[in-house]
A and B are shown apart, each in its own frame.
Chain A
């Protein structure tokens, strides 16, 4: 009887530890963010003031939006390398068409263009069953080529700054509309993906495609939708940025792509699929921008910012792999034997 109780206790202990680790993993991005924020508040001059915080929020707007779709694609266990060029596509289309169509129709065209690229990606992954790494690598090249072809490699701009001024002008005290729009859209998709019956389908498809199919889900449709969403939010993010500065360059997306991929991974979305969420991706984007901004306040250049964010990413990936490696080692350990071992050690 006593043995039984003890083994039960051991099992509980083991369960708790596992759960604790999972919880810690879930909340790690908040912890990292808190650490970065506190460190910067303490040590970076001119960091902790409203003006600078608004700067950070403005800085995260583009990448937070792009991260929405990329997170969903990763939840489905896929990869989208075309987000960078989709983002540029959105920005270039909106600026190129503005003189002809005006802002809102050209924004609509930009969003359709992004969704179309996403749909092509999704179709090739789901129906032609080609690895998403290859498909999106191909479409990345194609879209990049198209952008350069149409723009002849030069930057585009419009002379109308009224919308740009409105988007950047603080409302409600200090928040500019661009930030408000971005955060609202991100939160909307966060709720849609995480808390609705429809959204939970993405997790099931990523967690186990076979299971999802057997449960009666149209898995191909889910995959295609994920890529469409990725194309859409990337183009939308790019377009919003372009609208707020009334110009766009054909190389806009290159640096953004790396930051988004890094942020989504640091935010806890795994390429294995089935885990992660959009909100944590956004927090990760904010964390990276805070890191950039804080380092800048300290007088460090762009080089240091890249280096530091790379180190954070590498540390997270390394930590995650090491934790899994350690977990694997003790997987299936018998609590009653461990308890016995402990007792023996105590004697």
Chain B
């Protein structure tokens, strides 16, 4: 490295102590102007803490931080912002009832005479910011709740860019974007690079990193493992550095799987405006994948099947018998379980214990003569926790205190404990580290192997390809095709999901 080069960001020996743990342990981290520097690590490796440090969320870190060669104290978000740090958070940090303009210009509203907000200047500045993310057509005075979630995600990025940062931190910016929007975002990133911005990019999505990053820094247990140019590493080497041991990637291909009886069949299922005319079936021992871009209506379909939302027409057959499912509890009674996409808001009650969460769908089962007893379910809980290797292995621990990966294991355990015949999994490993992902995949395979049917909805293409025996492709609320095992690859699913299935010469079958 050229010693005279001025670095955009230079962190030397920074540490951050939380009570009882050293979250970041004397890390050196350098980012050059005009590069995209990816930061990689399992959940809990310390990368979020490092990023929060840059964004000024902590006032008590140790070590030195230099920005453009100047030593700085990043003790508050305002201080970080003043030094040119912009942060795009993973979860939306927009005020829903306020207008786009008020959000984009939060904290720096232009004024007339230093007091009154200048409406015209607000409009102009907002439109300028929105244009940078391709949303110039939006009305700056529309409320955030009036626009779509994808648009809101881009508004969030526009808001950060509006502060003209010299260092831009992006934490999983693509998690709720469709493929087109990701392309748009990468275009924006490319543009910013050319303007000399330093971009720090955090993502679990490895293929994405190879597309966008110039260098990669890997962290584990609060320490930096190393920094590499993107062409020096492979997916496999990255995973090994993240988990700290060699990975056995010769996954056992189960050949010639024999499928059993039909577990679930859906005919012409329709919920007006959400999904139309959906038909499919899934058999015992089978894993059916549902692919497509985010926002294609896959979660809505799952909600419709389990009765969380009322459907307008169509029939559902369970083991060949027509069944009306009007609520989640009826779905459960019929052996259908649905693991929701959003673990924190819909999946787990974070304030109660692991045991209580796992037993929550089984309240009825463990009630006898009007008396509920958690003791009756204790062995189930322990068995599930053991299989999924939940850490710590103590059912009385509050779920909110667990790491993301362990939370996701508990969530899966909650539904596995109901012993479902049909298990619908919506993004079963979103935001989960590699270790937890393997455990979850093993459990899914075991369930399917024991004569149950599993439906996997996932935007993680390698996951979808690895787990599924068959993949239905959904686009804008409709099934547009099906890929079977032999034809499954990340490329084929992606092309099909983008409505370009015809390029797959004969590999896609009309459903």
Contact = CB atoms under 8 A, between A and B. Distances in A.
A and B touch in the complex (CB under 8 A): yes
Interface of A: 15, 18-19, 22, 195-198, 200, 203-204, 206-208, 210-217, 270, 272-275, 330, 332-338, 340-341
29 contacts: A19-B142, A19-B146, A22-B146, A196-B115, A197-B115, A197-B116, A200-B102, A204-B102, A207-B97, A208-B94, A210-B93, A211-B93, A211-B94, A212-B106, A216-B76, A217-B107, A270-B97, A272-B97, A273-B97, A274-B96, A334-B274, A334-B477, A335-B273, A337-B274, A337-B275, A337-B276, A338-B273, A340-B276, A341-B273
Contacts of B108: 215
A200 B276 CA distance: 44
A273 B81 CA distance: 26
A211 B76 contact: no
Contact of A197 (B117, B275, B276, B297): B117
Contacts, number: 99
B95 A211 contact: yes
B146 A207 contact: no
* Listed residue (A22, A204, A217, A330) with the most chain B CB atoms within 10 angstroms of its CB: A204
B300 interface: yes
B273 A274 contact: no
A274 B77 contact: no
Given A333-B274, A337-B477, A274 B97 contact: yes
Contacts of A19: 142, 146
A197 B111 contact: yes
A213 B57 CA distance: 10
A337 B273 contact: yes
Given A15-B146, A196-B117, A335-B273, 5 more contacts: A197-B117, A270-B97, A274-B95, A336-B476, A338-B273
A200 B107 CA distance: 9
Q: By CB atoms of chain A within 10 A, which of B77, B146, B273, B274 has the most?
A: B273
Interface string B87-126: 1000001111110001100111101000111000000000
A274 B94 CA distance: 12
Given A208-B96, A216-B76, A341 B106 contact: no
Nearest to A215: B107
Given A195-B116, A204-B95, A337-B477, A215 B146 contact: no
Interface string B133-148: 0000000001100100
Contacts of A336: 476
A310 to B, nearest CB: 27
A19 B143 CA distance: 9
Nearest to B296: A334
A211 B275 CA distance: 34
B77 A216 contact: yes
A203 B99 CA distance: 10
Nearest to A10: B273
A216 B107 CA distance: 6
Contacts of B366: none
Contacts of A15: 146
Contacts of A270: 97
A251 B6 CA distance: 70
Given A22-B143, A216-B77, A334 B98 contact: no
B117 A195 contact: yes
B363 interface: no
A275 B143 CA distance: 11
A85 B143 CA distance: 36
Nearest to A340: B276
Given A196-B116, A197-B115, A214-B77, A203 B98 contact: yes
Contact of B273 (A212, A213, A333): A333
Given A334-B274, A336-B476, A213 B77 contact: yes
Contact of A200 (B87, B93, B117, B272): B117
B333 interface: no
Contacts of B106: 204, 211-212, 215, 217
B268 to A, nearest CB: 13
B188 interface: no
B78 interface: yes
Nearest to A341: B272
Interface residues of B, number: 34
Contacts of A198: 115
Contact of A332 (B55, B107, B116, B300): B300
A198 to B, nearest CB: 8
Contacts of B116: 195-197
A204 B95 CA distance: 7
A30 B163 CA distance: 39
A18 B476 contact: no
Contacts of B146: 15, 18-19, 22
A340 B143 CA distance: 28
Nearest to A199: B117
Given A196-B115, A274-B97, A334 B476 contact: yes
A22 B145 CA distance: 10
Nearest to B106: A215
A287 to B, nearest CB: 23
Contacts of B97: 203, 206-207, 270, 272-275
A332 B109 CA distance: 31
A336 B117 CA distance: 39
A304 B21 CA distance: 64
Contacts of B98: 203-204, 207-208, 274
A77 to B, nearest CB: 10
A114 B313 CA distance: 61
A188 to B, nearest CB: 13
A335 B274 CA distance: 9
A337 B111 CA distance: 44
Contacts of A341: 272-273, 276
A162 B233 CA distance: 88
A334 B297 contact: yes
Contacts of B76: 216
A28 to B, nearest CB: 16
Contacts of B109: 197, 200
Nearest to A203: B98
A23 B274 CA distance: 26
B149 to A, nearest CB: 9
Nearest to B275: A337
A338 B272 contact: yes
Contacts of A211: 93-95, 103, 106
Nearest to B119: A195
Nearest to A270: B97
B95 A207 contact: yes
Given A334-B297, A336-B476, A214 B93 contact: yes
> Considering the complex of A and B, which 5 residue pairs feature the smallest CB-CB distances, nearest first?
A207-B95, A215-B107, A333-B273, A216-B78, A274-B97
A216 B81 contact: yes
B53 to A, nearest CB: 14
Interface in B275-294: 275-276
Contacts of B117: 195-197, 200
A231 to B, nearest CB: 24
B51 to A, nearest CB: 13
Nearest to B297: A334
A270 B87 CA distance: 30
A274 B106 CA distance: 13
A336 B55 CA distance: 41
A212 B146 CA distance: 20
B492 to A, nearest CB: 25
A19 B109 CA distance: 24
B96 A207 contact: yes
A270 B146 CA distance: 17
